[in-house]
Amino acid sequence: MDIINDPQGCDPARGQHVVSIGVYDGVHIGHRQVISQTQQLARDLGTKMAVVTFDPHPALVIRPENAPLILTDIEQKLELLAAAGVDTTYVVPFDSSQASETAPDFVSRVLVGCLDAQAIVVGHDFHFGKGRAGNVEVLTELGRQHGFSVNGIELLERPDGLAEPVSSTAVRRALAGGEVMTAQTLLGRHHEVRGIVVQGDQRGRLIGFPTANVDVPAEIALPADAVYAAWYITPDGERHAAAVNVGKRPTFYQDADRSLLEAHLLDFDGDLYGQPAQVQFVELIRSEQRFDGIDALKAQLVDDIAVARTHLT
pTM: 0.93
Model pLDDT for residues 232-259, shown as the tens digit of each residue: 999 999 999 999 999 986 455 566 578 8
Classify residue 62 as left (phi > 0), alpha (psi -120 to 50) or beta: alpha
Asked if the structure places residue 181 within a domain, the reply is no
Asked if the structure places residue 280 within a domain, the reply is yes
pLDDT for 206 beyond 70: no
Asked if the structure places residue 260 within a domain, the reply is yes
SS3 (DSSP) at 215: strand
Classify residue 156 as left (phi > 0), alpha (psi -120 to 50) or beta: beta
The strand order across the sheet containing 88-93 reads 2-4, 88-93, 48-55, 17-21, 117-123, 149-153
Say which amino acid occupies 49: M
Question: In this structure, what DSSP letter does residue 240 have?
Answer: E
Q: Are residues 42 and 139 in the same domain?
A: yes
| Rounded mean pLDDT, 151-168 | 93
Length of the chain: 313
Model pLDDT for residues 257-280, shown as the tens digit of each residue: 788 999 999 999 888 999 999 999
The domain boundary, picked from 153, 181, 216, lies at 153
Asked if the structure places residue 168 within a domain, the reply is no
Asked if the structure places residue 158 within a domain, the reply is no
The domain boundary, picked from 127, 153, 179, lies at 153
Kindly give the residue spans of alpha helices, DSSP state H, lying in the chain. 29-45, 58-62, 74-83, 96-99, 103-106, 136-146, 168-176, 180-187, 203-206, 294-312
Kindly give the residue spans of alpha helices, DSSP state H, lying in 152-254. 168-176, 180-187, 203-206
Q: Are residues 146 and 208 in the same domain?
A: no
What band does 161 get if pLDDT is binned at 50, 70 and 90? confident
User: What total number of domains does the chain contain?
Assistant: 2
What band does 290 get if pLDDT is binned at 50, 70 and 90? confident
What residues does 119 pair with on adjacent strands? 18, 149
Model pLDDT for residues 1-49, shown as the tens digit of each residue: 999 987 777 887 789 999 999 999 999 999 999 999 999 999 999 999 9
77 lies in which domain range?
Answer: 2-153
Model pLDDT for residues 125-138, shown as the tens digit of each residue: 999 999 999 999 99
Q: Are residues 253 and 142 in the same domain?
A: no
Q: Are residues 137 and 272 in the same domain?
A: no
